[in-house]
Structure 1
């Protein structure tokens, strides 16, 4: 089969590999489309220790071609979307059966864009912070894959004020279509908010921004940390100060959840897919690349020029 490998010299190369075979609890998928996501930039930069050469790709859509021991054989032929720990940028990928879900009428092209960002956004709103009707939500990286979905999930949860923070005017223009009531440029945060406080803040940035976010929480507010886009330096928070104001600092790690409690992650994927199928939430795919152009897709994402989701067309 054709596959892309990330080699020891940090270069992507299309090569021929043997097709993988599903083991117990696994399925093999003939890949139609594969997503490009932030994890691809992290692996290329060496932040995730993986053996090289490595077949990248963490999300795929296609049809099940074979099942391993313990998996219902009737699933063969089903159109699915899957979350994996690598290998999706290839003609065939092996995926955990529990994290391989029927697309339920969603086209495979759209299903590839669901990926990890959709259940992450769903869980940030519905599980980690439990947004309630009438609450206010502040979302950093508001134009990103998680941010644009989180705004939609927040609206569906009943949030009455949704504010986003973005890096530049072009990203603000793009994010505006996803239900934000106000968008701020990064340099305008938090000064332009005045004295406004928020019930929920979603923070993939880290560093000084995380400390500022704690100060922007209303009483009983929840700050969800789910990434470190700016720095991996530690952020200190005084538990006694949080207690006195009823504030909470929570974290969310979808990759870890997929390893420890994959059934929980699968349930969130299923619920998110239902909202996508019903048209309540939109996954915006704005760029489609050939397998040989994966390097370009990843670089554009790393550079911040990608707006919406990028996918790789494989079959």
Structure 2
């Protein structure tokens, strides 16, 4: 099969590899599309170390072609969206059967656009922050695949005000189409908000952004952290200050959830599939690349050029 390899020199190259066979609890998927996500930049940059050469790609859509021990053979031929630990930038990928979800009639291009971002956005709003009707929500990285979905889920939860923070005017224009009441530029943050406080803040950035967020929480507010786009580093939080404000600092790690509570993550994917299927939520695939263009696709994401979701066309 054709596959993309990331080598020890950080070069992507196309290679011919043997097709993998599913083990117990796994399915093999003939990949139609693979999603591009932030984990790809972390692997490329060595922040998420893996043995090299490595076949990257952590999310895919396609058809089940084989099943491992313990998996119902009736799943063969089913169209699925899948979350993987790697290998999706190839013609065949293995995935845990529990995290390969049937998509019915949903287009496979859209199904690949769900990836890890869709259940993450759903969980941030509904199972971690538990946004309530009338509450205000601030979303950082508002034009990314998680950000545009988080705004939509917040609206469905009844949020009274949703504000986004982005890195450029072009990204602000894009994010404005997904339910935000206001989108501000990161260079103007937090001054542009003039001391406004929020019931829920979703932060994948860290650093100074996270320190500012702790000061922007309203009484009983919840700060949810789910990434370190700005680089790893401690952000002190005084538990006494949180107590006096009735505030909470929460964390969400979808990769950990996949390993420890895969059924919970799969349940969130199913709920998202229902909302996308009935038109309540829009997954926006804004760019499509060929299998040989992985380096350019990942570079655009890392450089802040990508809005919404990018995918690779594999089949």
The 5 Å alignment of 1:251-270 reads: 251-270=251-270
Alpha-carbon RMSD across the aligned residues, in angstroms, is 0.6
Give 3-state SS (helix, strand or coil) of 2:125's partner: helix
Spell out, residue by residue over 1:168-189, the C-alpha distance to the aligned partner (whole angstroms, 9 max, x if none): 1000001010000001001221
Aligned to 2:92: 92
Give 3-state SS (helix, strand or coil) of 2:302's partner: helix
Distance in 2 (CA, whole Å) between partners of 1:232 and 1:53 is 25
Aligned to 1:153: 153
Give 3-state SS (helix, strand or coil) of 2:134's partner: coil
Distance in 2 (CA, whole Å) between partners of 1:13 and 1:195 is 49
Aligned to 2:48: 48
The 5 Å alignment of 1:191-202 reads: 191-202=191-202
Give 3-state SS (helix, strand or coil) of 1:88's partner: coil
Distance in 1 (CA, whole Å) between partners of 2:99 and 2:170 is 35
Give 3-state SS (helix, strand or coil) of 2:13's partner: strand
Aligned to 2:239: 239
Q: Does 1:250 align with 2:246?
A: no
Give 3-state SS (helix, strand or coil) of 1:142's partner: coil
Aligned to 1:279: 279
Aligned to 1:72: 72
Distance in 1 (CA, whole Å) between partners of 2:229 and 2:73 is 42
Distance in 1 (CA, whole Å) between partners of 2:189 and 2:104 is 41
Aligned to 1:28: 28
Aligned to 1:4: 4
1:160 is displaced (CA, Å) by 1.1
Give 3-state SS (helix, strand or coil) of 1:15's partner: strand
Q: Does 1:165 align with 2:165?
A: yes
Distance in 2 (CA, whole Å) between partners of 1:294 and 1:229 is 20
Aligned to 1:129: 129
Spell out, residue by residue over 1:52-86, the C-alpha distance to the aligned partner (whole angstroms, 9 max, x if none): 00000000000000000000110000000000010
1:195 is displaced (CA, Å) by 2.9
Contact 1:133 1:158 in 2 (8 A): yes
1:244 is displaced (CA, Å) by 1.0
Contact 1:163 1:183 in 2 (8 A): yes
Give 3-state SS (helix, strand or coil) of 2:164's partner: strand
Structure 1 unaligned spans of 5+: none
TM-score, scaled to structure 1:
0.99
Aligned to 2:291: 291
Give 3-state SS (helix, strand or coil) of 1:304's partner: coil
Give 3-state SS (helix, strand or coil) of 1:210's partner: helix
1:231 is displaced (CA, Å) by 2.2
Give 3-state SS (helix, strand or coil) of 2:70's partner: coil
Distance in 2 (CA, whole Å) between partners of 1:301 and 1:200 is 26
Aligned to 2:221: 221
Structure 1 segments (4+ residues) deviating >2 Å: none
Spell out, residue by residue over 1:256-283, the C-alpha distance to the aligned partner (whole angstroms, 9 max, x if none): 1101111110001111111111111111
Aligned to 1:301: 301
Paired residues, what number?
315
1:190 is displaced (CA, Å) by 1.4
Spell out, residue by residue over 1:109-167, the C-alpha distance to the aligned partner (whole angstroms, 9 max, x if none): 11010000000000000011000111000000000110000000000000010000000
Give 3-state SS (helix, strand or coil) of 1:24's partner: coil
TM-score, scaled to structure 2:
0.99
